[in-house]
Amino acid sequence: MTDPREFIHRLPKAELHLHIEGSLEPEMMFALARKNGIALPYASVEAVRAAYDFSDLQSFLDLYYAGAAVLRTERDFYELTAAYLRRAIADEVRHAELFFDPQTHTARGVPLAAVFAGIAGALRQARAEHGFSGRMILCFLRHLSEAEAFATLDAALPLRAEYAGLWIGVGLDSGELGNPPEKFAGVFARARDLGLRVVAHAGEEGPPAYVRGALDALEAERIDHGVRAEEDPALLRRLVETQTPLTVCPLSNLKLRVVKDLREHNLARLLRAGLCVTLNSDDPAYFGGYLNANFIAAAEALALSRDELAALARNSFRASFVSEAERRPWLDEIDALAAR
């Protein structure tokens, strides 16, 4: 198999950094807006796509939250998730730990139970029909207060038994600058005490100090993005030593102007320096590509070798929250493919 695209396609992969609301394609946005009687500030699907020209994270988040307003019912969350899972399965993604932003929806009067039930319903169906392995990670919006994060966690806890094995952890997302991890130390401590896994966005637009804060104040087990950690050599050494994964999102970083050109992206340097780097799609409907598109773009821009592509796929399972026994068959499959 000499074609790198074919190799990428056939690699079993895990997706660890995907906001389910960020998989809302404009066509579905229009269909749900019509169904739910919600006015969109765009005349057409093409006009929506044309608006996806971002200058930074906040300029994207403004559209992302506006788009998410079309999601109202359990069925809407089910359809959204099912559509993502169809694309993931087509990309040979075997396992996904999906982020969702309950506060975006509860603030509009959508019941938290509808959000959980819709996403979980699609995950259970994909497990039954395709053997797809899916989990849910509830993200707190960091531009809101810690008290609001606590209220969200408290509201979700009564649902825990119903979604045992699916809802496995909490994360931290939204506008990073001015909202350091330390702001959420209390709610993350509570989540850890409850046995939830913890991850956090850090070092996307924020400085290396935010990555340190996510590690020290939140005890984050993975750092989402983390690319700015490179500015702090001691921090990089720590990340190599602890093998704390960075869930890197190349097309997102390009669209949000974290990097000017993918050829300048540091993911290959980080990987070659011994960090546990994974590739992910973040908000693929907004950034122009799902997981394989991110692999292909990174491979072409950075001349990633077959061994490096296989290492990225292996890292995705190593960094995931599945058991050793669950990840073994996927790792064996990668080894077999890489040996050909």
Catalytic residues: 204
Considering only the stretches 184-192, 213-221, 282-290, 316-324, report the one whose residues sit in contact with Zn ion under the rule CB under 5 A.
282-290
Instruction: Return all residues near 218 (Cβ < 8 A) that are at least 6 apart.
Output: 172, 181, 184, 185, 188, 198, 200
Least Å distance, CB 224 to Zn ion, is 5
Judged by CB, which is closer to ligand ADE: 227, or 311? 227
Number of residues interacting with Zn ion: please give it, by CB under 5 A.
1
Q: Does 204 bind ligand ADE (CB under 6 A)?
A: yes
The residue type of 286 is Y
Stretch 161-200 residues interacting with ligand ADE (CB under 6 A): 173-174
- Residue sitting closest to Zn ion (CB): 282
- Does residue 283 bind ligand ADE (CB under 6 A)? yes
252 binding ligand ADE? (CB under 6 A): yes
The reply on whether position 282 binds ligand ADE by CB under 6 A is yes
201 binds ligand ADE (CB under 6 A): yes
Nearer to ligand ADE, 25 or 173 (CB): 173
Q: Does 19 bind ligand ADE (CB under 6 A)?
A: yes
Q: Which does 174 bind (CB under 5 to 8 A by kind): ligand ADE, Zn ion, none?
A: ligand ADE
- Site residues for ligand ADE, 28-67, by CB under 6 A, read 57, 64
Task: List binders of Zn ion among 53-72 (CB under 5 A).
Answer: none
Residue from the set 76, 91, 97, 282 that interacts with Zn ion by CB under 5 A: 282
Q: Which is nearer to Zn ion, 105 or 142 (CB)?
A: 142
Residue nearest to ligand ADE (CB): 173
Which positions touch ligand ADE (CB under 6 A)? 19, 22, 57, 64, 173-174, 201, 204, 252, 282-283
